[in-house]
């Protein structure tokens, strides 16, 4: 199964990049996951993209290291990734999905002052990654549902990014469609 192999590879590379604190690699891995999210439209793939992107943002912000809860968050993220990878390798897909959900829920249990920062990072990451899925042509409503965010928040963010202005999202005028149709049938 191509999608399983791809997700497994991304998770393994992410775990290694987190351990080695390779911030730019983590961001690239998050971007790769978005493509799978758009193709398969599986909530866990979107969650993986958000998780990876959030971890990237946490590692990017050097001042976060000063907060209590920072080290515990990263240690927990690595441990959850180990377990998720193990479950996926053993074809225990339901348990894999649960590990991904637990990783997201664990952020709510983050200790100290870091909790409010990590919560905000995840909120922004969800909206950011939703806009990238939307950019792949998935409807705004479907994209918002996949990420568990409101269509309003997504529309607000997308409106600021310029995604709607991309030429691929524009249709032909009625006159041009009629000319094209006539060419096809002549």
pLDDT of residue 89: 92
What parts of the chain have a pLDDT lower than 70? 1, 35-40, 160-171
* pLDDT computed for residue 165 by the predictor: 43
| Residue 13, pLDDT score | 92
Query: Do the beta carbons of residue 84 and residue 100 sit within 8 Å?
Result: yes
pLDDT at site 170: 52
Q: What's the whole-model pTM score? A: 0.72
Tokens linked to 26: 């983590």
- With vertex at residue 109, the alpha carbon angle to CA 64 and CA 124, rounded to the nearest 5 degrees, is 55
At CB < 8 A and 24+ separation, what contacts does 116-120 make?
Answer: 117/64, 117/67, 118/54, 118/58, 118/69, 118/73
Give dist(CA 47, CA 81) in Å, integer. 13
Q: What is the pLDDT of residue 82?
A: 92
């Amino acid at each position: 199964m191509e999608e399983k192999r791809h997700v497994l590879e991304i998770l393994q590379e992410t775990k290694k990049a987190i351990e080695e604190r390779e911030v730019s690699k983590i961001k690239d891995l998050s971007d790769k996951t978005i493509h799978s999210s758009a193709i398969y439209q599986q909530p866990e793939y979107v969650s993986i993209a958000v998780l990876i992107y959030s971890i990237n943002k946490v590692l990017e912000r050097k001042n976060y290291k000063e907060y209590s809860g920072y080290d515990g968050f990263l240690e927990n993220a690595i441990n959850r990734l180990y377990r998720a990878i193990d479950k996926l390798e053993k074809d225990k897909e339901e348990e894999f999905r649960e590990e991904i959900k637990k990783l997201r829920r664990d952020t709510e249990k983050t200790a100290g002052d870091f909790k409010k920062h990590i919560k905000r990072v995840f909120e922004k990451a969800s909206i950011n990654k939703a806009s990238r899925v939307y950019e792949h042509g998935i409807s705004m409503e479907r994209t918002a549902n996949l990420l568990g965010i409101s269509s309003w928040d997504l529309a607000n963010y997308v409106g600021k990014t310029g995604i709607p202005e991309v030429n691929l999202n524009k249709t032909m005028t009625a006159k041009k469609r009629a000319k094209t149709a006539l060419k096809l049938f002549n």
